[in-house]
Amino acid sequence: MATPRPPADRPLRLGVLGCGNVGSRFVELVDTEGQSVAQRTGIGLEVTRIAVRDAAKPRADFPDQAGLEKRLTEDAASVVVDPDVDLVVELIGGIEPARTLVLRALAAGKPVVSANKELLASNAGELLAAAGVAGVDLLFEASVAGAIPLVRLLNESLAGEHITRLSGIVNGTTNYVLTRMSEDGLEYSEALGEAQQLGYAEADPTADVEGYDAAAKAAILAGIAFDADVVASDVFREGITNIGPDDIAFARRLGYEVRLLAVAERTSPPEGETGSSRHPGISVRVHPAMVPQTHPLASVRGPFNAVFLDGAAAGELMVYGRGAGGLPTASAVLGDVIDAAHHLREGGRGRAVRRRAPALTPMLALRTQYYLSIDVLDRPGVLAAVASLFGEHDVSIRSMEQVGLRGEARLLFITHSALEADMQATLRALSDLDVVERVRCMLRIFS
């Protein structure tokens, strides 16, 4: 469908869906910065309609109440097909009704900018295909890591790059919690309570601490880095709730920081197949890891996010910044809006994407080194029984330390590189051993 170009002598009219934390900051940014954006970019912008669930709800934090109220509507479906809306900005969040509204906007020939992580982590393939058919942009920089330019970096600056691995700290809440546990010895629950008070963590912190938020971001990033249709449920996921300050202190003594990492990497093709004969495998995972203190990701502290890329030609590269918050996220939305508006005025659109079904390498087929902490009864023969279980499952111990605990002992192991399937079998066997009181914490070592 050919999209008519809006005349150059008037601002582009934006229909915004949602006026929550990001939506209200975005509208404010366009209202206050619109003129300076127009001077710098030649693109005039104007928010003409704002769809909300409840137009009567007070929005006291918005400076121009009257200006806001006259643009509000509860009819989102009419905004996406309104001939007086040139471009749709979807800031509702969640899958429905956002998915249907975005598809309708695209079908009506309107470019869409979205900050919707859940939607992009589950339906990116469908939405990008719809944008391709309509010949308009679907841009979603703000769906991952707030103000950090990752989507554009991967899609444009690194479009010719063969990315081999992407490793990131993409959840500010968990990074804040782990930093406080590491630097100040706080227990997990204390650090989480503090993150909630500061507004980093939700009252129900499950999405952050169990890694769901990071897994959705990992799926979006892996999809772009590898042109593959990766969805959040493809991502192996473990959270941070089993980690104690002792584990972090032990890791630090060995020269590591504990971080919740999202990793997406190319893996070798399955045995018997050559890399050139098929789409190579990829692994996408989120789990806490021991990161060497010499690695740049180990220096990312508090609520900050960062993503470290390994490219075949570009080598190593890292981006760092604020991964959440209304204003940083609104800034990323505005950047996309200016890009889409430019394409609308001048013709053309962002890079067309052809996504393939991903060949996912199962977690159990990966190899890494492990840290393991277990509590055992402190009596003769226990260490030998525990150590023999590692050997029986082909996991070689590199080092071991014992800490006494009134009748019990805590054993801290570092293994040599082992197959995940073998390590999981070792963990099951240890849990079944009656002298083992508790398998406390297992961490993978990032290298």
Question: Which region, judged by CB under 6 A, interacts with ligand HSE, from 22-30, 169-177, 243-251, 346-354?
Answer: 169-177
Which CB sits closer to ligand HSE, 73 or 196? 196
* 147 or 344: CB nearest ligand HSE: 147
Whether 217 is catalytic is yes
- Taking the complex as a whole, how short is the minimal distance between the CB of residue 214 and ligand HSE, in angstroms? 8
Half-sphere exposure of 248 (CA within 13 A, CB side): 25
Q: Is 230 left (phi over 0), alpha (psi -120 to 50) or beta?
A: beta
* Region of 19-27, 55-63, 101-109, 165-173 interacting with ligand HSE (CB under 6 A): 165-173
Query: Shortest distance, CB of residue 418 to ligand HSE, whole angstroms?
Result: 31
Residue 172 in contact with ligand HSE, rule: CB under 6 A: yes
Which range, of 11-19, 170-178, 282-290, 372-380, touches ligand HSE by CB under 6 A? 170-178
**Closest to ligand HSE by CB, 173 or 182:** 173
**Residue with Cβ nearer ligand HSE (111 or 303):** 303
Q: In whole angstroms, how close is the CB of 219 to ligand HSE at the nearest point?
A: 13
For the bound state, the minimum distance from the C-beta of residue 124 to ligand HSE, rounded and expressed in Å, comes to 16
**Per residue in 137-166, is it b (16+ CB within 10 Å) or e — as a string?**
bbbbbbbbbbbbbbbbbbbeebeebebebb
CB of 335 to ligand HSE, least distance (A): 18
Nearer to ligand HSE, 198 or 357 (CB): 198
Q: Which is nearer to ligand HSE, 87 or 284 (CB)?
A: 284
Taking each helix axis from N to C end, the angle separating 117-134 and 212-225, rounded to the nearest 10 degrees, works out to: 30
| Nearer of residues 205 and 350 to ligand HSE, judged by Cβ | 205
Contact stretch for ligand HSE (CB under 6 A) within 36-44, 168-176, 278-286, 353-361: 168-176
Shortest reach from residue 225's CB to ligand HSE, in Å: 19
Site string for ligand HSE, 367-406 (x = CB under 6 A): ----------------------------------------
Stretch 93-132 residues interacting with ligand HSE (CB under 6 A): 117
Nearest to 338 by CA among 48, 11, 4: 11
CB of 14 to ligand HSE, least distance (A): 23
300-339 binders of ligand HSE (CB under 6 A): 323-324
Query: Using the rule CB under 6 A, which residue among 116, 122, 173, 361 binds ligand HSE?
Result: 173
Please pick, from the candidates 140, 188, 200, 308, the single residue that binds ligand HSE as defined by CB under 6 A.
Answer: 200
Helix 420-432, helix 382-392: angle, nearest 10:
150
> Which residue among 116, 167, 171, 415 contacts ligand HSE (CB under 6 A)?
171
* Marked catalytic residue, from 57, 70, 117, 217: 217
Do the bridges between strand 87-90 and strand 112-114 make them parallel or antiparallel, or are there none, so unpaired? parallel
What amino acid is encoded at 280 in this protein? P
In the chain, the N- to C-terminal Cα span, in Å, equals 48
Nearer to ligand HSE, 200 or 236 (CB): 200
Q: How far is the CB of 216 from ligand HSE (least distance, A)?
A: 8
Nearer to ligand HSE, 213 or 339 (CB): 213
CB 421 within 8 A of CB 365: yes
Query: Could you tell me the maximum CA-CA distance found in the chain, to the nearest angstrom?
Result: 86
Minimum gap (Å) between residue 230 Cβ and ligand HSE: 17
Residues 203-242, mask of contacts with ligand HSE (x by CB under 6 A): -----x----x-----------------------------
**What are the distances in angstroms from CA 37 to CA 14, 147, 289, 294, 427?**
15, 17, 42, 40, 57
Region from 28-36, 166-174, 293-301, 400-408 binding ligand HSE, contact rule CB under 6 A:
166-174
- Binding-residue total with ligand HSE (CB under 6 A): 9
Give the residue numbers annotated as catalytic, written as ranges: 217
Site of interaction with ligand HSE (CB under 6 A): 117, 171-173, 200, 208, 213, 323-324
